[in-house]
Amino acid sequence: MPRSFLVKKYFSNKKPNYSELESQTDQRYAVVPLHDSVVPMLVWGSSALPLAFTPAPPSPPSPPGPLDLSSPSSSSSSSSGEEDDCRTSDPPSPDPDSDRSQCSQCGKPCGSPAGLSRHQLTHCTPGPQTTGAASTAARAAFHCKHCPKEYTSLGALKMHIRSHTLPCVCGTCGKAFSRPWLLRGHIRTHTGERPFSCPHCNRAFADRSNLRAHLQTHSEVKKYQCGTCSRTFSRMSLLHKHTLSGCCPSA
């Protein structure tokens, strides 16, 4: 599932204020779809943000086989790209003071060497463009044995593999999930628990993201705007549907 059209911009590094979602005055996000025919703009507050997106060129395929986590000696090699890889949610940083702990792959300032080290675990492997022992070690790839994905760290790979092994099983219906919190969210569908309430109406939701989407329905200016007719939508999927329905045949 491609997520590379999302480019997150960090203007603050913590805790969202959900009341902001109704009266957006900051522009924290940029939405950049890959769909050729769609050039949506994010309307986050008063102005729209038309954005360009340049997909990274595909990396050459790599020959090494998948990593079998059941084998303790697995540690891997090589590298390659994959359609969803090598992206980052963070824009390059303009902060010169963060050079010492700035990610060499995405430019993100990480605050400290430790932060940089941790951040780098999140990068999937780029192409085989580097040489030298240090670079080779830094870009070692860990391949998923279940799919073509590969990661630069065992930790990242393990996290990914959970999406294949689905270790969290619902005791009520037996449905399995990759993460404990996904299971908890699912369990709410059995219990009916809805801890996220809308401040504007009596609705409550089991999922915070669904509340967030709901809050858009209370907003006059929706988050996603059609680049051609300027109509706004509460969800990207609605904008996409709108575009596919023929509003913007050439856009």
Query: 98, 109, 119, 225: which one contacts DNA (CB under 7 A)?
Result: 119
For DNA, the binding residue among 182, 221, 227, 228 (CB under 7 A) is: 182
Would you count residue 160 as binding DNA (CB under 7 A)? Answer: yes
Q: Is 13 in the site for DNA (CB under 7 A)?
A: yes
Shortest Å distance, C-beta 96 to DNA? 19
Give the full edge-to-edge strand order of the sheet including 48-50: 48-50, 41-43, 224-225, 232-233
Q: How far apart are alpha carbons 130 and 136 in whole angstroms?
A: 7
Q: Is 209 helix (H, G, I), strand (E, B) or coil?
A: helix
Asked if 138 touches DNA (CB under 7 A), the answer is no
Give just the sign of the alpha carbon dihedral 197, 198, 203, 205: negative
The least distance separating DNA from the CB of residue 44, rounded to whole angstroms, comes to: 9
230 lies in the site for DNA, by CB under 7 A: no
Q: Are 232 and 225 in contact (CB under 8 A)?
A: yes
Contact between 126 and 59 under an 8 Å Cβ cutoff? The reply is: yes
Compute the distance between CA of residue 169 and CA of residue 80 in angstroms, rounded to an integer. 33
Decide: is 206 part of the binding site for DNA (CB under 7 A): yes
- Residues lying near DNA in the complex (CB under 7 A): 1, 3, 5-6, 8, 13-16, 28-29, 31, 33, 84, 87-90, 108, 115, 118-119, 121-123, 149, 153-156, 158-160, 163, 175, 177-182, 184-186, 188-189, 203, 205-210, 212-214, 216-217, 231, 233-238, 240-242, 245
